[in-house]
Structure 1
């Protein structure tokens, strides 16, 4: 449930984008992130660091998108968020008594320190790769946008390609619009699916080592003096 709560601003962005376009969606995502943090504080009387990082970046990059009417900033936002998470996971390997993932999940599961370190590093690596994947998908839009600018020699406006452009620029506009939509879909569905698959795999990895530890404890207990049948 918390996982879906974390995706709340992204879901809002997706819905508003499909109805009104990327700039209104960006404004609503900023408001949604503020609401997410406010609701979390109301329920728990504290803020979650990852929510605050996301809020700060969406205010900065989303605000720049609205101020300069430039989609590049909001398209970079997922990468900035995931790379910030990666830095936090890696830094926690060396700062503090426990890696970040153990602080997040240690209350619910108990595994050896080596397993926590492996899981923490895998979270950092996955965050880096998600950031790269976002840029890879977004770059298709960036390329299409530059081709449209070169062909039309005017500011990009994807709202009504046929009315805004003429000749080959109309098709380039439609391609750019399609690439923008693909990025938005990937931002929600692609990243959500990749995250779910990764977290399931991570959960299986941790659970296997919990079972190993339980078996070792049982074996140690059975071999103690006085425990022979």
Structure 2
């Protein structure tokens, strides 16, 4: 359930983009009606409408996520705050300038921000954030935790590069599909591979 909650803005982004792609005139009308005041001067074309509308919905969804947690007096993970800040800045720039370049960079900036946080915490604060998040669920040898942290750092670095490659070498709709399914598939594959790698250490610890 938490996984779906975290993916809520991405799912809405994908769904709205696909709807707008199939109804460009309606999407264009909605963009001009609700986002016209948030954009620089100039007309919005039907081709621009899907990414502008879906980006706006993703921003609202991210704000709603955190608002819901605050209203229920639940802890808001640092990851959600970082994600909100990035989607507001890069999504806002996409809408204002009517340029999808900014939103295409958003996943890469998010991945690299997570990777950098893991690296900086390990090097300068002597704190393994992966261990902090996982040690209550799994017991691992001391030597494994730094390797696990490094694996996540490399994964986020590579994911950022892959996003850039897909975003700027393929059509926009291909990137949107990759953002929804490709990124999720790679994440699942990494987690499964990580689980298989850790299983022998968990058995040894037992």
- TM-score normalised by the chain length of structure 1: 0.73
- The 5-angstrom pairing of residues 7-46 of structure 1 reads 7-20=7-20, 21-43=50-72, 45-46=74-75
Larger displacement relative to structure 2 (34-43 or 60-69): 34-43
Q: Could you tell me how far apart the structure 2 residues matched to 1:118 and 1:2 are?
A: 26
Larger displacement relative to structure 2 (17-26 or 105-114): 105-114
- The 5-angstrom pairing of residues 34-113 of structure 1 reads 34-43=63-72, 45-113=74-142
Q: Could you tell me how far apart the structure 1 residues matched to 2:77 and 2:59 are?
A: 17
Matched with 2:179 is 187
Q: Could you tell me how far apart the structure 1 residues matched to 2:131 and 2:64 are?
A: 27
Mark the runs of 5 or more structure 2 residues left unpaired by the alignment.
21-49
Q: Number of paired residues?
A: 177
User: Of the candidates 193, 198, 203, which is equivalent to residue 206 of structure 1?
Assistant: 198
Larger radius of gyration: 1
Mark the runs of 5 or more structure 1 residues left unpaired by the alignment.
142-178, 215-229
Q: Which has the higher contact order (CA 8 A, sep 6+)?
A: 2
Q: Could you tell me how far apart the structure 2 residues matched to 1:204 and 1:44 are?
A: 36
Cα RMSD, aligned residues only:
1.4
- 1:43 Cα shift? 4.7
- SS of the counterpart of 2:194? helix
Q: Could you tell me how far apart the structure 2 residues matched to 1:202 and 1:4 are?
A: 21
- TM-score normalised by the chain length of structure 2: 0.81
* Alpha-carbon distance change, 33 to 206 in structure 1, aligned in 2, over 3 angstroms: same
